[in-house]
Amino acid sequence: MERLWMSDRVSGSGMTVASTTAAVAGPFVHEGLFYGGADDYVAGLVPFIRAGLDAGEPVMVAVPGPNLDLLRDALDGDANEVRFADMTRAGRNPGRIIPWVLHSFISRYPDRHPRVIGEPIWAGRTDDEYPACAQHEALINEAFAGVSATIVCPYDVSRLTPEVLADAQITHPILVEGTRRRPSTAYAPLELVAAYNAPLPEPAQPVDAMVFDLMGLARVRRFVAEHAARAGLPADRISDLQIAVNELATNSVSYADGTGTLRVWQSDGFLICEVRDRGWITDPLAGRLPPVAAAEHGRGLVIVNHLCDLVRVHSDPTGTTIRLHVRR
């Protein structure tokens, strides 16, 4: 699959980039830490936290709730100096993690070297969520290139699959196992981003669909509201979903060929809305970086990621499919 790297959404050609096969040089450090249980977890991460605190560096821990408790207990009084976030909430949608968790913390300290423990992948992640998680881990390297910060991502070797652990070696330039720290010979994050840019599986459930253009955006919002109410979503979540779908539909009529298709269905406790058009998103970081304050464009996908429980994207020269999941 051809990998593309441009800043805008286009419907024409793009430019290719060379595969990244060596660790990114500079002040940014991204490590994958392999652990095999609670003791391993604490032994691998508490010294990292304490070393940061001793050096006067800001420290954030964003991991699933039970692991938060492990680290809080092990740190004892030092826990008061650490910022904690439950990743099962803050990062349930992997597309939220870079802009709303990592960048939000790191950008507060431009003259210091923040330390972050981020655990976006755990054994309870679903098959729908995992590709977005893997792409998130790969894109961290591009999002923070040149930034002075260290991010350590723990991986539970006792519960995660060999495929997930193999992906971790592709997305992290440095791997840590016990006291051993080594460069990853498999490091090639943009290749992994491209590999997971695969067509989304067709739904097995009944689908309701409509075609829209610029004059049909109001009908898009009504269509979404009707299905969301039927699925039992509360009023605030109906409003969130209307905003998210309207952002995508507006992009379709503005930047694709002026039309798009909206499909809606229910599956496994979620209401799913999908927008398809003939546009082509060639920047893999689209929607995963906070927009520049003065920018006129670039906010739509960030807003969509913020409002939805999961966002999946497939885009190639033939068109783009964006699938939004909201819990019922």
What is the domain range of residue 146? Answer: 22-187
Q: Which residue among 157, 187, 217 closes a domain?
A: 187
User: Would you say 147 and 28 are in contact if contact means Cβ atoms under 8 Å apart?
Assistant: yes
Residue 202 lies in a domain: no
pLDDT tens-digit map of 117-172: 999 999 999 999 999 999 999 999 999 999 999 999 999 999 999 999 999 999 99
Mapped onto helix, strand or coil, the DSSP state of residue 8 is coil
Distance CA 226, CA 229 (A): 5
pLDDT tens-digit map of 286-317: 999 987 765 556 688 999 999 999 999 999 99
Residue 55 lies in a domain: yes
User: Would you say 197 and 316 are in contact if contact means Cβ atoms under 8 Å apart?
Assistant: yes
276 and 137 housed in the same domain: no
Q: How many domains does the chain have?
A: 2
Helix (H) or strand (E) segment spanning residue 192: helix 189-195
Residue 87 lies in a domain: yes
Q: What is the pTM of this model?
A: 0.90
Q: Which residue among 187, 222, 253 closes a domain?
A: 187
Q: What letters, b where the CB count within 10 A reaches 16 and e where it falls short, cover 241-280?
A: bbebbbbbbebbbebbeebbbbbbbbeeebbbbbbbbbbb
Residue 172 lies in a domain: yes
